[in-house]
Structure 1
Amino acid sequence: MSDAKTLPPALRGWTEREVGCISGVRDASHPRASSRVWELERADGCRFYLTISPSARMYERETFALRHAAPALGAGRAPQLRASSAEHLALLTTAVPGRPVNELPLTAAEEYEAHRQGGMLLARLHAAGDLTGRWRAEAEEALDAVALGTDRHLEEAGDRLTPAEHALVRRLAAELRIVGPLPLGFIHGDAWPRNLLWSEHAAWIDFERSRFAPVAQEFVRMACAVWADKPRLRAACFSGYGRELTPQERHALTCLAALDAVSALTWGETHGDPFVAARGRRTLDRLTTGVFA
């Protein structure tokens, strides 16, 4: 394993105090400046991942998830937290078998099974954790918080949207506030193929956006980025999940997709990512023609 990105000496020393001498280091970061992840290997072949969170909030979320919710997925279905350092915003976790499903040459049957098991694991995750006190309050207020950002997102989008699209997004954001009580749970927050691993079974990784929220929020990325082209994977996910979304949840998902589309279109064009921008544009087109849900 090569040292493609230098691991800070202080972090290497901390890691070796936790798990022993490291014989190999590989840069495993995503292709963005804020991503700092290394795959580590001991001489005995045991592998670990060291992640520096982009922010204190993400560090707190992932630490909480790995301690209190992810274990509900079962052995080998999520990373195990070996150590964490608030000083460095660092998390040291075990490696999970498999590779992201979007990187694998899966057969149709294998892809279906990966997404079915992914849905099954999300159902376990959503039922995990203690949904009381401030956690319940935050979950109940989550949709209002999303809707409050509408004006800022539309201002940033500017003339990337037509006047009719601006009006549509504003209407759906307003409806998001009155959609009614929805099932709540502990969501992964970034559930899509990049974070769904597959080998002999499925596993979820990267919990830095996890939180208590309406569970319908879990499915925005999949609905916007995957299910439009592969509706059978939607069926697979909810087969594993054990239920379909309620009518209120489906409407909330449509409203959330509109806000995600504006954010994706703006971010993609601003950061030179045509794939993210195209996802946002396509979602807006689907919403405008009424074929999203």
Structure 2
Amino acid sequence: MRQTKPLPTAVQRWVEQLTGPVVAVRDASHDWHRSRVWELTGRGGARWYVKVSPSGKFFTRETRAYRGVVPALGHGRAPHLLDSRADDLALLLTVAPGVPAPGMSLASAEWRSVHSQAGMLCARLHEAGALDARDRAEAAASLAAAADGAEKYLGRAGDRLTEDEQQLVRDYAARLRRVGRVPLGYIHGDNQPRNWLWSEAGLALVDFERTRPAARVQDLVILAVTEWLDHPDREQAFLQSYGRGLTGAERQALRCLSALDAVNCLAWGPDNDHPEVTARGRRTLDRLMKEDRP
């Protein structure tokens, strides 16, 4: 059972300077030891979320995203940043409507609607303003940076991969460097249903700590190796609302990135006692090995 995390006293005092007295606190963190999020209730029933970022890098990314990128999603499509406190890496957020989509018993048609709206929101996010020179350079280098990370994750995964599997990952990392030009933009960075809130009002996105300039196709990796692999109709619904199909270069990049995601999962999942992530990596790697090394 996950241990409940207490809200730091200093953070609650800061929040109450902005909201007034907090009468109830609920730990709303993800099932990960570095995730720290709380739902707060004030007098009269007003609610907020406060998040303490895992690192200064994530804090900087998320505060920047809320100020400059997230508004492109539209009213009610994401939380709103009320204030932030760099000393504690804390963000005070409004409550977006809905509950995480995986926690709902949705029918197939409803899941297609969820993915359709996710495609629309991702398009808005990916096109949220022109990239300046610095962001464009970061985005243009993002696939090479992903390829560079392969050896680090292979080292962490160790003997969880066979020699043939390690070589497969290295081959895909090399191929990723040669896919050519792909569309760039601002990506969510952890685009998956656990960060999608579904309600009668539609879909809202949350958790922007990994939002950054990058190749847009990087936002589709988790979906491609989980949701879309078993439900191609959801991919079709997403891309139709996204406004375009993927280019040939993006399709190649997506396959390469899937291999890198697999080794990342097999490095991170066991070390963080996260069987779901571990299983995702193993399933992807087994599939790629079967398709590439029959």
Say which SS state the counterpart of residue 96 (structure 2) adopts: coil
Q: In structure 2, what is the equivalent of residue 152 of structure 1?
A: 152
Instruction: Supply the AA of the counterpart residue of 2:282.
Output: R
1:222-237 pair list within 5 angstroms: 222-237=223-238
Q: In structure 2, what is the equivalent of residue 198 of structure 1?
A: 198
The answer (yes or no) to whether the contact 1:196–1:204 under 8 Å persists in 2 is yes
The answer (yes or no) to whether the contact 1:5–1:26 under 8 Å persists in 2 is no
The answer (yes or no) to whether the contact 1:77–1:203 under 8 Å persists in 2 is yes
Partners of 1:280 and 1:7 lie apart in 2 by 33
TM-superposed deviation, 1:228: 1.4
Q: TM-score, normalised by structure 1?
A: 0.95
Say which SS state the counterpart of residue 44 (structure 1) adopts: helix
Q: In structure 1, what is the equivalent of residue 220 of structure 2?
A: 219
TM-superposed deviation, 1:30: 1.3
Query: Do the aligned partners of residues 281 and 6 (structure 1) sit closer, same or farther apart at CA in structure 2, a change above 3 Å counting?
Result: closer
Q: In structure 1, what is the equivalent of residue 103 of structure 2?
A: 103
State whether structure 2 residue 253 is matched by structure 1 residue 283: no
Q: TM-score, normalised by structure 2?
A: 0.94
Task: Map Cα deviations across residues 141-166 of structure 1 (whole Å, 9 max, x no partner).
Answer: 11111111212222222222222222
Task: Map Cα deviations across residues 82-120 of structure 1 (whole Å, 9 max, x no partner).
Answer: 000011100000001101111111121211101110110
1:58-97 pair list within 5 angstroms: 58-97=58-97
The answer (yes or no) to whether the contact 2:226–2:280 under 8 Å persists in 1 is yes
The answer (yes or no) to whether the contact 1:97–1:197 under 8 Å persists in 2 is yes
Structure 2's unaligned 5+ residue stretches are none
TM-superposed deviation, 1:269: 2.2
4+ runs deviating over 4 angstroms = none
Task: Map Cα deviations across residues 166-194 of structure 1 (whole Å, 9 max, x no partner).
Answer: 22111110111111111001000000010
Partners of 2:291 and 2:129 lie apart in 1 by 36
Q: In structure 2, what is the equivalent of residue 39 of structure 1?
A: 39
Structure 1's unaligned 5+ residue stretches are none
TM-superposed deviation, 1:49: 0.4
**Count of residues in Structure 1 that have an aligned counterpart in Structure 2:** 288
TM-superposed deviation, 1:213: 0.3
The answer (yes or no) to whether the contact 2:39–2:49 under 8 Å persists in 1 is yes
1:16-31 pair list within 5 angstroms: 16-31=16-31
Tell me which moved more, 22-31 or 83-92: 22-31
Instruction: Supply the AA of the counterpart residue of 2:42.
Output: R
Task: Map Cα deviations across residues 243-288 of structure 1 (whole Å, 9 max, x no partner).
Answer: 1111100100100110110110122222332221111011012212
Tell me which moved more, 37-46 or 257-266: 37-46
Partners of 1:263 and 1:8 lie apart in 2 by 31
Q: In structure 2, what is the equivalent of residue 256 of structure 1?
A: 257
Instruction: Supply the AA of the counterpart residue of 2:145.
Output: A
State whether structure 2 residue 25 is matched by structure 1 residue 52: no
* CA RMSD after TM alignment: 1.3
TM-superposed deviation, 1:234: 1.0
Say which SS state the counterpart of residue 88 (structure 2) adopts: coil
Say which SS state the counterpart of residue 229 (structure 2) adopts: coil
